[in-house]
């Protein structure tokens, strides 16, 4: 367990103990105590942590909250970590950490190195996170990029929080869209070989399909023309699909996103899982035949309408396979928690998915669906829709290439998932002070630069005495570093990784301010060593934070 979380827990327990003792001593009426929590006050003068318990007890005890606070505080045990416990109107109890304990945490961070910030909350529980999962019928676009960054960052954080995380991409490799893609590709293939033919009406008209057809001609020639149409479509299509998938993987890798598992939709049919799950639903009475189709009776579970699982032509819908897929996640593979990240256009799918998970006998709370809102691409305030080069929707790969990975990741991450966002490529590219990406990385580069100087001067600081750190800006820096475990805990609870970007900026700001106020390498050998320790620990925390966001920590810029 992280030191700071242990201290926090200790404070909570001491409040509980003090309140109970106050009650036993007759200083406080014996009313039931609510769940005690402490929070971080927004003003530094209010200390490091605060409890509003007295305010919550005011009504039940019909006492002045300030007096309740005083009674509780008088029973508060002393501890090494806490320097001061005070009472503030209208009825808060404020706690201030001792500087001795604070400075010791510098050594603690140095010991823990890269594992600093990690917590044990997850206890090795298995959690699966599925994200992007775009149809392999075309290149990824910017919206997928947002989901990719969201998912991979969340996976990093959950891993740091002690969960066993598995990242997965669901490949929709069967169904209507695939058939349509196969047909489109075959038409383009024929056209490229001089055959006058038409594209299917519901086809994929992007120029990338033609590019794909040309690549396949280069590699395989015109052999598919000699086959019966159906065979040609299928064989050529499969090759095209593989290529498309490869391009998708490349785009994701360029964004520093990788997966533990690429799960094929069609495997659900091949291994009989689909049939099994449908039979289960039928047996429990959630399946009905009407209008010559097969329906999942979601209205029985409070939904507004039923949903088709098998069309009247006998083919299963996307929803049907998704049911089997989630059965596979929860039952076959036994994940404790499953996180799905979907785009806003899938929002209507959420409630029926939760309903069907419940119908399969799985607690729907174990399924967490994150909807990431739409993202619009801009360039200097102007809306960008099409790529100048291909005329298609601008691809994720193009955006990454133009803007750079670090900036892409940061900007995709910095808004909460449920707020729509504009992604301005000009702004993201601008390597100036109005770009927080460089501001944060610059803090790290400054740290690296300090160590280059220290090394040049041959300074060793292993025996530095951190208790010399007493300046306000030094202690503020330590306090900021101590927040990382709490941030990780919060994100693991809320599944909102955008908080990391704000934390990173705040940590960088506090470091820059410290840097201005306290010169590190000076003639004062002892102070130099102590500050080198402080700076080293700041480097660890900054590196860890950037790492969680999938960003690089450059030694030089």
* Residues numbered 284-313 forming contacts with RNA, rule: CB under 7 A: 291-293, 304-305, 308, 311-313
Enumerate residues 191-250 that contact RNA by CB under 7 A.
none
Q: Alpha-carbon distance 68 to 91, whole Å? A: 8
Instruction: Write the DSSP string, 371-406.
Output: EEPPEEEEETTEE--B-TTTSSBPBHHHHHHHH-HH
Among 144, 498, 529, 533, binds RNA (CB under 7 A): 498
Residue closer to RNA by CB (options 216, 326) is 326
Quick check: 371 binds RNA (CB under 7 A)?
A: yes
Both tokens of 385, joined, read: 């829709």
Please state the closest distance from residue 451 (CB atom) to RNA, in A: 8
Q: Can residue 499 be called a binding residue for RNA (CB under 7 A)?
A: yes
3-state secondary structure of 519: coil
Q: Which of 13, 231, 345, 455 binds RNA (CB under 7 A)?
A: 345
Closest CB to RNA among residues 75, 515: 515
Is residue 46 at the binding interface for RNA, with CB under 7 A as the rule?
yes
> What single string gives the DSSP state of each residue in 114-172?
GGTT---TTTT-EEEEE-----TTS--BHHHHHHHHHHHHHHHHHHHTT-EEEEEEEE-
Compute how many residues bind RNA; rule: CB under 7 A. 92
- Pairwise CA distance, residues 185 & 204, whole Å: 8
How far is the C-alpha of 243 from the C-alpha of 262, rounded, in Å? 15
Question: What is the per-residue binding string for RNA in 155-194, x denoting contact by CB under 7 A?
Answer: -----------------x--xxx-----------------
Apex 54 CA angle, 49 and 55, nearest 5: 100
Instruction: Decide whether 217 or 371 has the Cβ nearer to RNA.
Output: 371
CB nearer RNA, residue 96 or residue 164: 96
- Interface with RNA by CB under 7 A: which range of 36-44, 121-129, 160-168, 253-261? 36-44
| x/- track of binding to RNA for residues 381-410 (CB under 7 A) | ------------------------------
**Which residues in 74-93 contact RNA (CB under 7 A)?**
88, 90-92
Q: Rule CB under 7 A: say whether 351 interacts with RNA.
A: yes
Taking the C-alpha atoms of residue 515 and residue 4, their distance in angstroms, rounded to an integer, is 25
DSSP 370: E
Query: How many Å apart are CA 229 and CA 235, to the nearest integer?
Result: 10
Work out whether 55 is an interface residue with RNA (CB under 7 A): yes
d(CA 465, CA 423): 46
Among 374, 386, 460, 470, binds RNA (CB under 7 A): 374
Stretch that binds RNA, among 10-18, 253-261, 371-379, 541-549 (CB under 7 A): 371-379
Pick from 445, 465, 471, 547 the residue near RNA by CB under 7 A: 445
**To the nearest whole angstrom, how small is the minimum distance from the Cβ of residue 187 to RNA?**
19
Ordered alpha helix ranges (H), 25-114: 53-61, 65-74, 99-112
| 52 is a site residue for RNA (CB under 7 A) | yes
* Identity of the residue, 192 or 439, whose beta carbon is nearer to RNA in the bound complex: 439
In angstroms, how far is CA 173 from the centroid of its own chain? Answer: 26
Stretch that binds RNA, among 16-24, 182-190, 276-284, 369-377 (CB under 7 A): 369-377
Q: Which position has the token pair 């098998």? A: 310
Q: 487 with 544: CB under 8 angstroms?
A: no
Is 349 one of the binding residues for RNA (CB under 7 A)? yes
- CA-CA-CA-CA torsion sign (422, 428, 429, 434): positive
Given the complex with RNA, which of 191 and 266 has the nearer CB atom?
Answer: 266
Of 4, 11, 58, 504, which lies in the binding site for RNA, with binding defined by CB under 7 A? 58
Q: Please, what is the minimum distance in Å from the beta carbon of residue 248 to RNA?
A: 14
Maximum distance among all alpha carbons in the chain?
96
Is residue 516 part of the contact set for RNA (CB under 7 A)?
Answer: yes
Q: Which of residues 407-436 bind RNA (CB under 7 A)?
A: 414-416, 418-422, 431-434, 436
Cα–Cα distances (Å) from 321 to 31, 209, 227, 295, 324, in that order, read 53, 27, 31, 13, 5
* CA pair distance 177, 203, nearest whole angstrom: 9
The correct pick among 140, 148, 353, 518 for binding RNA (CB under 7 A) is 518
Q: CB of 64: closest distance to RNA in angstroms?
A: 11
Between 80 and 431, CB nearer to RNA: 431
């Amino acid at each position: 367990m992280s030191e700071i979380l242990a201290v926090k827990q200790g404070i909570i327990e001491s409040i509980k103990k003090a309140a109970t003792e106050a009650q036993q001593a007759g200083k406080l009426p014996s009313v039931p105590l609510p769940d005690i929590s402490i929070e971080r006050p927004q003003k530094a003068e209010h200390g490091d942590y605060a409890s509003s318990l007295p305010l919550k007890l005011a009504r039940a005890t019909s006492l002045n909250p300030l007096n309740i606070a005083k009674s509780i505080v008088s029973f508060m045990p002393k501890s090494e970590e806490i320097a001061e416990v005070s009472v503030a109107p209208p009825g808060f109890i404020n706690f201030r950490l001792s500087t001795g304990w604070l400075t010791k945490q510098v050594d603690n961070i140095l010991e823990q190195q890269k594992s600093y910030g990690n917590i044990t909350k997850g206890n090795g529980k298995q959690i699966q996170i599925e994200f992007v999962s775009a149809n392999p019928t075309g290149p990824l676009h910017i919206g997928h990029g947002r989901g990719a960054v969201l998912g991979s960052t969340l996976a990093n954080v959950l891993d740091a929080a002690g969960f066993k995380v598995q990242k997965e991409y669901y490949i929709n490799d069967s169904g209507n869209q695939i058939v349509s893609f196969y047909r489109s590709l075959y038409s383009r293939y024929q056209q490229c070989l001089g055959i006058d033919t038409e594209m299917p009406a519901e086809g994929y008209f992007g120029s990338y399909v033609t590019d794909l057809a040309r690549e396949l001609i280069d590699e395989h020639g015109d052999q598919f023309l000699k086959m019966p149409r159906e065979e040609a479509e299928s064989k050529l299509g499969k090759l095209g699909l593989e290529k498309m998938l490869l391009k998708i993987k490349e785009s994701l890798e360029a964004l520093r996103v990788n997966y533990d598992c690429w799960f094929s939709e069609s495997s659900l049919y091949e291994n009989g899982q689909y049939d099994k799950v449908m039979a289960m639903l039928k047996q429990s009475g959630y399946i009905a035949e009407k209008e010559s189709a097969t329906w999942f009776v979601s209205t029985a579970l409070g939904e507004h309408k039923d949903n088709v699982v098998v069309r009247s032509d006998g083919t299963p819908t996307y929803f049907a396979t998704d049911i089997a897929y989630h059965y596979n996640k929860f039952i076959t593979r036994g994940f404790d928690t499953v996180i799905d990240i979907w785009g806003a256009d899938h929002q209507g799918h959420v409630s029926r998915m939760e309903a069907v998970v419940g119908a399969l006998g799985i607690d729907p709370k174990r399924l967490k669906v994150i909807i990431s809102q739409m993202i619009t691409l801009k360039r200097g305030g102007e809306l960008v829709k099409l790529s100048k080069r291909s005329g298609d929707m601008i691809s994720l790969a193009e955006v990454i290439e133009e803007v750079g990975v670090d900036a892409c990741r940061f900007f995709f991450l910095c808004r909460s998932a449920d707020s729509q966002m504009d992604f301005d490529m000009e702004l993201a590219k601008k390597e100036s002070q109005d770009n927080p990406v460089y501001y944060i990385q610059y803090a790290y580069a400054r740290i690296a630069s300090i160590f280059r100087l220290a090394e040049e001067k041959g300074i060793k600081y292993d025996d530095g005495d951190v208790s010399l750190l007493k300046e306000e800006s030094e202690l503020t820096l330590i306090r900021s570093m101590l927040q990382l475990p709490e941030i990780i805990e919060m994100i693991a609870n809320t599944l909102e990784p955008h908080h990391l970007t704000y934390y990173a900026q705040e940590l960088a700001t506090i470091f820059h301010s410290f840097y201005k106020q306290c010169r590190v390498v000076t003639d004062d050998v002892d102070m130099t060593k102590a500050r080198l320790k402080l700076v080293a620990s700041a480097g660890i925390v900054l590196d860890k934070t950037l790492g969680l966001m999938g960003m690089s920590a450059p030694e030089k810029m």
